[in-house]
Amino acid sequence: MCEGEFESLKAIHAVSPDFVPEPYAWGKYEKPEKINEDTYFLLAEFRDVGQQPADPVKLATRLADMHQRSVSPTGKFGFHMATCHAKITQAVDSWEESWCALYSKHLGHVIDLAKPILKWPEFDVVTKLTLDKVVPRLLLPLQSEGRVLKPSLIHGDCWDGNTAMDMSTGEAFVFDVCSFYGHNEYDTGNWRAPRHRLSNLAYIKNYKKCFPVSEPGERIQIPSFGGSINIGVSARGRLGRTQSLVLLDFQHR
């Protein structure tokens, strides 16, 4: 977790130095005799957190700028190591020509983690349909018929609590990152969920002013599954893009 966040911060800082705290180091503590577990640390620049979430115009502008100016070192989707979304390791440590391929691998990994916890036959049916039918239907057109999709460096978990206004500079910044190179609209997926304050339409409207939606732009409505399972797909009518999928979110209750 510490190494993944360090590498994510380092990658973003190289593109947009003021947009994230500068990372200094990560490592392993010397283990005292009475402590059995390994303990790690991440050392980064201090930022004085102000308003949360960050201002819509400033956040959208800086996020879109990072997406547009970042360049994948391989020209492909992925990352040089696995990063962590909270405690869940992300299956993004490979380089793929296809965004659909990387996303399917990533989502399939999280589904596999959920299955032994949930043990619902219906869940297995829905997730198989999602991986076999829904994901290809939404993501393959992004790179078909001559369309080119740029791998963008993304935050990975861009929600209310990971964005803020810097009390010293008055500018928007982000933290708690779990980055990789993916479709830029992956970062706006969280903005669809009504429980997030980033669902305020001011955020997506300002983002689209800076970074127009990817083609094709046909409207496809995909339902979300509630309860303790939430598989979300961003709808064009709300977020400006059908292909911005929200990573499977599960809770053990």
Instruction: Give the pLDDT confidence of 45-69 residue by residue, as tens digits.
Output: 999 999 999 999 999 999 999 999 9
Domain membership of residue 88 (yes or no) is yes
Domain membership of residue 217 (yes or no) is yes
| The pLDDT value given to residue 218 | 58
- Positions in the chain whose pLDDT score sits under 50: 219-253
Domain membership of residue 165 (yes or no) is yes
Q: Where residue 208 sits, what CATH number does that domain have?
A: 3.90.1200.10
Domain membership of residue 6 (yes or no) is no
| The pLDDT value given to residue 201 | 96
- Say how many C-beta atoms besides its own lie within 10 A of residue 110's C-beta: 18
204-249 confidence digits (pLDDT tens): 999 999 999 999 875 443 333 333 334 433 333 333 333 334 334 4
Domain membership of residue 131 (yes or no) is yes
Query: Could you give the angle at the alpha carbon of 59 between the alpha carbons of 190 and 246, nearest 5°?
Result: 10
Q: Give CA–CA dist 61/173, Å, rounded.
A: 11
Domain membership of residue 5 (yes or no) is no
| The pLDDT value given to residue 35 | 74
207 is in which domain, residue-wise?
48-250
Q: How far, rounded to the nearest angstrom, does the alpha carbon of residue 25 sit from its chain's CA centroid? A: 23
Q: Give CA–CA dist 54/65, Å, rounded.
A: 16
Q: Give CA–CA dist 195/159, Å, rounded.
A: 10
Domain membership of residue 100 (yes or no) is yes
pTM of the entire predicted model: 0.85
Q: Round to the nearest angstrom and report the end-to-end CA distance of the chain.
A: 24
Domain membership of residue 106 (yes or no) is yes
* Beta strands at 163-165 and 172-174: parallel, antiparallel or unpaired: antiparallel
How many domains does one find in the chain? 1
